[in-house]
Homo-oligomer: A and B are copies of this chain.
Amino acid sequence: MVYDTIRDLIAQADQAIREERFDDLMEFYTDDAVLVLRPGREAHGKEEIKRAFMAIARYFNNSLVPSQGKMMMLEAGDTVLVLSQSFVEAEKKPDSEYPSERRATYVYRKVEGKWLCAIDNSYGTTLLDSADKTE
């Protein structure tokens, strides 16, 4: 049931991104959420995350279509780790180097009875490619 609930929330968030409803999108995040923009660059909190999504939409010339494929969840009480095949399509993609398929890691937390995204990392474990051993 948690699987279906969270999968549905992610689909709703993707829909909000497609329709550029960024205020609605923020309803899916915790107040102290973190979004990975690219390796080494993060947005913290709803205000920064919202601004980042607006910048991403501009980068993709307002044609961004995110979606999820295979998904797996690991549940520990009020904390869920989501592993997800994540796709980004964009008609007007300016840079063909932008990877269109990824293996994302999201952490969801149940806060006051509601599942919210606390950690949004579409890069998954590939962030380790650019990590310093002593970081």
Contacts and interface: CB of A to CB of B under 8 A. Distances in A.
Interface string A32-61: 111010000010100000000000000000
B131 A42 contact: no
Contacts of A42: 74
B32 A77 contact: yes
Interface residues of A, number: 38
A105 B69 CA distance: 20
A107 interface: yes
A85 B128 contact: yes
Interface in A70-92: 70-72, 74-77, 79, 81, 83-85
A124 B121 contact: no
A107 B128 contact: no
Interface string A116-133: 001101001101100111
Interface of A: 3, 30-34, 36, 42, 44, 69-72, 74-77, 79, 81, 83-85, 103-105, 107, 109, 118-119, 121, 124-125, 127-128, 131-133, 135
